[in-house]
């Protein structure tokens, strides 16, 4: 006959066995046909070893944090501004929907004029910036803010 601690042991063993059986019934997260990444992630969260394995199998090389101004080529910005019918304000150094005038030129005119284009590239890219130099007398964070403003307009 079992005493109280014996019953507790048998009950704990049965519960553990049942729990292990319930987990074993679900396929591993890497099995084919499990579903999309979110479903696989939910399965991987069952245990720490599975979660670590899931995270280690994720592709490497993705950006976790990215600034558009440093990740976009100026050619794309110019093409985007042209496609959206924007012009370039020489005084404000930004793309605008304002009509053409003395200080507002088309994107094609900006590209055709080497002085305007060099000014655009120097202002809205990190081109020409090196540590301990500052040809435009702008701080790097300020330059990034200006770039963001221009990219938002395009």
| pLDDT at residue 1, rounded to an integer | 55
| pLDDT at residue 70, rounded to an integer | 64
Phi, psi of 128 (to 5 degrees): 85, -5
| pLDDT at residue 8, rounded to an integer | 59
* Other CB atoms within 10 Å distance of the CB of residue 95: 27
| pLDDT at residue 15, rounded to an integer | 58
| pLDDT at residue 86, rounded to an integer | 94
| pLDDT at residue 59, rounded to an integer | 75
Q: List C-alpha distances in Å: 74 to 38, 44, 58, 121.
A: 35, 42, 31, 7
| pLDDT at residue 76, rounded to an integer | 84
Give the orientation angle of helix 37-44 with respect to helix 48-57, to 10 degrees: 150
Q: Take residue 133 and report the two structure tokens written for it.
A: 């130099």
| pLDDT at residue 4, rounded to an integer | 62
pLDDT digit string (tens) for the chain, length 154 residues: 556 655 556 556 655 655 555 445 788 888 888 888 888 888 889 889 888 888 888 777 666 666 666 667 788 889 999 999 999 999 988 899 999 999 999 999 999 999 999 888 877 776 666 655 555 555 444 444 555 455 555 5
pLDDT in tens, 45-75: 988 988 888 888 877 766 666 666 666 778 8
Whether pTM > 0.75 for this model: the answer is no
Helix, strand or coil for residue 62?
A: coil
Helix, strand or coil for residue 144?
A: helix
Within 26-139, residue ranges assigned H as helices are 37-44, 48-57, 68-71, 74-83, 107-112, 114-123
Distance CA 119, CA 124 (A): 8
């Amino acid at each position: 006959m079992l005493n109280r601690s014996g019953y507790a042991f048998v009950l704990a063993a049965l519960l553990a066995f049942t729990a292990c059986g319930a987990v074993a019934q679900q396929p591993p997260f890497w099995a084919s046909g499990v579903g999309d990444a979110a479903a696989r992630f939910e399965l991987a969260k069952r245990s720490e070893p599975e979660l670590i394995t899931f995270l280690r199998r994720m592709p490497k090389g993705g950006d976790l944090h990215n600034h558009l101004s440093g990740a976009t080529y100026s050619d794309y910005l110019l093409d985007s501004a042209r496609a959206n019918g924007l012009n370039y304000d020489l005084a404000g150094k930004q793309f605008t929907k304002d009509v053409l005038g003395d200080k507002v030129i088309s994107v094609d005119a900006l590209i055709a004029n080497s002085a305007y284009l060099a000014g655009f590239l120097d202002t809205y890219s990190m081109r020409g910036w090196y540590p301990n130099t500052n040809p435009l007398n702008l701080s790097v964070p300020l330059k990034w803010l200006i770039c963001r403003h221009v990219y938002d307009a395009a």
